[in-house]
Amino acid sequence: MPEFDFAQPTSLNDALDLFAADGEVRALVGGTDIVDQLKTGRRNADMVVDVKRIPELQRLELTDDGLHIGAARNLTDIAEFPPVVSDYRGLADSSLLIGSWQIQNRAGLGGNVCNAAPSGDTIPALLSHDTVAVVASKSGTREIALSDFFAGPGQTVLQKGEILVELVLPLMQENSASSYLRFIPRNEMDIAVVGAGSFVQLNPSNNTVLKARIALASVAPTPVRARAAEEVLEGNALTDDLIEMAAVAAVESATPITDVRGSAEYRRELVKVLTRRTLGICRDRING
């Protein structure tokens, strides 16, 4: 690896001082992306800051205002956290798809988010849950809707000196569920050809959709919401026909490229299939 300075702060304030310093300062969580990127020169760093020992970044807690997940918390812990297992199932689905078990033991949720890969598996799941990113710098903290967090492939809206502290997912309402699926040619250590995360909240008395969220990975420069598909769903009864209409509408939000993993045409077809399937899984999960 190229040379860099290394720091391992144990408090958020110490970390913020380090991130405010001149030069390229990069956060290390599990290192499963950044170490490889540093080795191969795809990212550079004057200083690497291991943020895993900062208590705020290890938070994993369900409170009155939502599920708080510290940016450095590893994916295995998250996927095994009882509220995630029972309610935030799209997040569990996606966490358990990343890399392999050995990677999940290391990789942090905030790392997957800040790496900002168009294919980042947890991101559609988080977007489908209306997740908010809590960001800190020496001048204070601010909240950013995760849908406004991504600026391009590998790029976020974080400013110099800012770090992601935690992700907050709103409390789950009754009769709601989420799901994430991706398509890959094999079951592990691969990158999504397309990923889709859905969230549905139903009115149980008439089966109409109160709220729908659909987000897609690997079909645009950043993970994207499929807003047209959400609009198709909301206010209408969740029938097979409606799911099909939403699946078709989701394709409007996809602007995929053709690359080694799949053609643009193939990806558009996958958007339809995965949207349909995740909506069906949400319905099954709501109905128990």
The nearest distance, CB 9 to other proteins, in angstroms, is: 12
Strand partners, 201: 176, 211
| Smallest gap from residue 80 Cβ to other proteins (A) | 10
User: CB-side exposure of 143: number of CA atoms within 13 Å?
Assistant: 7
CA proximity to 217, closest of 113, 76, 132: 113
The verdict on 266 binding other proteins (CB under 8 A) reads no
Closest distance to other proteins from the beta carbon of 99 (Å): 6
CB contact at 8 A, 206 and 175: no
Rg (CA), the chain: 19
Q: Using the rule CB under 8 A, which residue among 187, 205, 206, 260 binds other proteins?
A: 187
- Which token pair is 90? 């799209």
**Angle in degrees, CA 64, 65, 66, rounded to 5:** 100
Q: Which of residues 12-31 bind other proteins (CB under 8 A)?
A: 28, 31
* Binding to other proteins in span 72-111, by CB under 8 A: 76, 99-103, 105-106
Of 184, 143, 176, 188, give the one whose Cα is nearest residue 162: 143
Cβ-based nearer residue to other proteins, 32 or 178: 32
**Piece of the chain touching other proteins by CB under 8 A; list 13-21, 60-68, 154-162, 184-192:** 184-192
Q: Which of 35, 220, 257, 273 binds other proteins (CB under 8 A)?
A: 35
The position carrying tokens 């807690």 is 61
For other proteins, which residue of 18, 48, 164, 214 counts as binding (CB under 8 A)?
48
What span, in angstroms and rounded, lies between the C-alpha atoms of 176 and 233?
Answer: 14
Q: In the set 8, 137, 203, 208, which binds other proteins (CB under 8 A)?
A: 8
Residues that bind other proteins (CB under 8 A): 1-6, 8, 28, 31-32, 35-36, 38-40, 48, 50, 52, 76, 99-103, 105-106, 187-189
